[in-house]
Chains A and B, each alone.
Chain A
């Protein structure tokens, strides 16, 4: 217990920064959560890093939507469209 608490107090960015990413993937175990929390309380850089990952996460979610603008200049090839349209005409 005391060991864990001491460990929690003495951490560098390098020690905890993978945890910032991992919070998006699974609930952190108690001591990891505590180490991260205490580190974030004193480290501006890791705050910035966390914010950056948050932005990436939000952007990725938006990228996945059917109205995403990521490929707005890209279209399915006309010949492929024609082919599909022909199938449809045959089957309906």
Chain B
């Protein structure tokens, strides 16, 4: 296939919002997200003649965007160190004297597949995500949203695996508590 299969004139209309939203999920800073989208279109324009037509235009553009986003993550701290004793990143789940969680976790009464399709819930999770400290946010995004392996993340950011596991565990707990306080309170609205 030839480069003619790209239609740059239509890019903004067809993909700009989609790409911006896609980036907003991954980076906390809206300005950074905006710049990443611009940089992606700029790079795509410059390299449009290398487009081999092996993938769709959309896949190709998103591929560039993903690369740019990863570069942005890399340009942050080279060595992510987390103070596991700091209160900011602390484990917020409590236990009673017998080692049971307190308060007791209550069932969310939700099927994971159904939850994933619920757009109101997606908004709450996005809000909870953006409330995470920068480092936790980045690692969670790479692990759970972009699906990188623990090994890849540890290598990229020079983290010990045990440290990463603790960080992810605490991040998931923070998200769980945030979802409970922001969503369970308003749950009736969604049902």
Q: Given A49-B101, A70-B25, are A85 and B12 neighbors across the interface (CB < 8 Å)?
A: yes
Residues of B within 8 A of A12 (CB): 95, 98-100
Q: Which residue of the partner chain, among A21, A59, A64, A76, contacts B16 with CB atoms under 8 Å?
A: A76
| B22, B26, B106, B173: the one within 8 Å of A48 (CB) | B106
Q: Which of B58, B62, B107, B122 contacts A70 (CB 8 A)?
A: B122
Contacts of B173 in A (CB 8 A): 21
Sort chain B's interface into a size bin. 35 or more
A38 within 8 A of B: no
**A75 and B108: CB pair below 8 A?**
no
Q: Is the beta-carbon distance between B25 and A80 smaller than 8 angstroms?
A: no
Task: Check: A3 CB closer than 8 A to any chain B CB.
Answer: no
Chain B residue with minimal CB distance to A57?
B144
Q: Mark A25-68, 1 if CB is under 8 A from B, else 0.
A: 11000000000000000000100110111111111111110111
What is the total number of residues of chain A having a CB less than 8 Å from a CB of chain B? 49
Q: Which residue of B lies closest to A65 (CB)?
A: B22
B105 and A66 contact, CB distance less than 8 A:
no
Q: How far is the CB of B69 from chain A (nearest CB, A)?
A: 11
A74/B101 contact (C-beta < 8 A), A64-B145, A66-B18 known: no
- B176 lies within 8 A of A52 (CB): yes
User: Does A89 reach chain B (CB closer than 8 Å)?
Assistant: yes
A9 contacts which chain B residues (CB < 8 A)?
A: none
Chain A residues proximal to chain B, CB less than 8 Å: 12-15, 17-18, 21-22, 24-26, 45, 48-49, 51-64, 66-72, 74-77, 80-81, 83-85, 87-89, 91-92
A-B CB proximity, top 7 nearest:
A12-B99, A69-B119, A64-B145, A62-B116, A21-B169, A70-B126, A60-B144
